[in-house]
């Protein structure tokens, strides 16, 4: 059974700092890994999807890396802004299809 | 981009009543939709997979008679919580694969429904 863990569970940093969120998964036989953002009481917004053949993916100030062999992914946020405050979730498909197993999430707070 | 609309965004109901939640793909067709549940400060747990034209597939431990799923068309899936109890209070989110192919397609999520059963 795939298990996805995110560390830390919560993180507070001053505005402008660069930061890294971590995601680890137990079964390295994944097809891709997806990072999402969830605002309080809201649904999920897809941020980045990394294919299993890729090592990293970039979108604006976000950079996600994937190391399948070690079962790890990181989400790097550059020059953090208060608007980045949200819960960040990583997720991997299981059972070879589009169902996702979600990580436990990291609640990020950017302090103005 | 692909948009998934979920309605209502919140609902309060009394114990024993039923509540229907709708999930629509607005600008694309979805033969499959996924229903997740999220308890406070916990991650999302998959409840069931909704399949257009066939029965839904439920995850282990999810009561199919309690959580009725109907995928009426290529753009609409509904989740009905029957005989709701306070322990059913949760955040329910639907999602649908985008227009890409298979497992490499990112999922698009609705904004969720906050259900409170009193």
Angle, CA of A66, A71 and A73, to the nearest 5°: 35
Q: Give the one of A42, A89, A93 whose C-beta lies nearest to B103's C-beta.
A: A93
Q: Are A102 and B43 in contact (CB under 8 A)?
A: yes
Chain B within 8 Å of A45 (Cβ-Cβ)? yes
Q: What does the pLDDT read at residue B43?
A: 86
Q: Are strands B44-51 and B57-58 parallel, antiparallel or unpaired?
A: antiparallel
B42 or B75, which is more confident = B75
Does A47 lie at the interface with B, CB-CB under 8 angstroms?
no
- Does A97 sit within 8 Å of B44, measured CB to CB? no
- Please choose, from the candidates B87, B95, B53, B52, the residue with its C-alpha nearest in 3D space to the C-alpha of residue B67: B87
Q: Give the whole-number percent of chain B exceeding pLDDT 70.
A: 92
pLDDT tens digits along B91-108: 999 998 876 555 556 788
pLDDT values of chain A reduced to their tens digit, one per residue, 112 residues: 788 999 999 999 999 999 999 999 998 888 889 999 999 888 888 899 998 889 999 999 999 999 999 999 999 999 999 999 999 999 998 755 678 899 989 999 999 9
* The Cα angle at residue A75 between residues B105 and A87, in degrees rounded to 5: 85
Asked if the model's pLDDT at residue B44 lies above 80, the reply is yes
Q: Which of B26, B25, B22, B27 is nearest to B7 (CA)?
A: B22
Dihedral in degrees, nearest 10, Cα atoms A9, A15, A20, A23:
30
Tell me if the bond preceding B117 is cis, omega within 30° of 0. no
From A36, A42, A98, residue closest to B103, measured CB to CB? A98
Give the model's pLDDT for residue B20. Answer: 97
Q: By percentage, how much of chain B surpasses pLDDT 90?
A: 71
User: What are the tens digits of pLDDT across the range B76-88?
Assistant: 999 999 999 999 9
A100 touches chain B (CB under 8 A): yes
pLDDT at A97: 61
- pLDDT, averaged across chain B: 90
CB pairs under 8 A between A and B: 60
Nearest partner of B22 among B92, B85, B90, judged by Cα = B92
């Amino acid at each position: 059974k795939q298990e996805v863990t995110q560390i830390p569970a919560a993180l507070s940093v001053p505005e402008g700092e660069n930061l890294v969120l971590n995601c680890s998964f137990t079964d390295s036989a994944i097809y891709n890994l997806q990072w999402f953002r969830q605002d309080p009481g809201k649904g999920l917004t897809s941020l980045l999807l990394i294919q299993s053949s890729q090592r990293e993916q970039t979108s604006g100030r976000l950079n996600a890396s994937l190391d399948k062999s070690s079962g790890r992914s990181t989400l790097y946020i550059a020059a953090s802004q208060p608007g980045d405050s949200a819960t960040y979730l990583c997720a991997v498909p299981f059972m070879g299809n589009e169902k996702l197993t979600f990580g436990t999430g990291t609640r990020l707070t950017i302090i103005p | 981009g692909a948009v998934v609309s979920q309605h209502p965004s919140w609902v309060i109901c009394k114990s024993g009543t039923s509540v229907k939640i709708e999930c629509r793909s607005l600008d694309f067709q979805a033969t499959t939709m996924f229903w997740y549940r999220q308890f406070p400060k916990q991650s999302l747990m998959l409840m069931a997979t909704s399949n257009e034209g066939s029965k839904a597939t439920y995850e282990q431990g999810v009561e199919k008679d309690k959580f009725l799923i109907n995928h009426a068309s290529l753009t609409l899936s509904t989740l009905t919580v029957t005989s709701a109890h306070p322990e059913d209070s949760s955040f329910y989110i639907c999602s649908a694969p985008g227009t890409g192919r298979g497992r490499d397609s990112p999922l698009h999520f609705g904004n969720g429904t906050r259900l409170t059963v009193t």
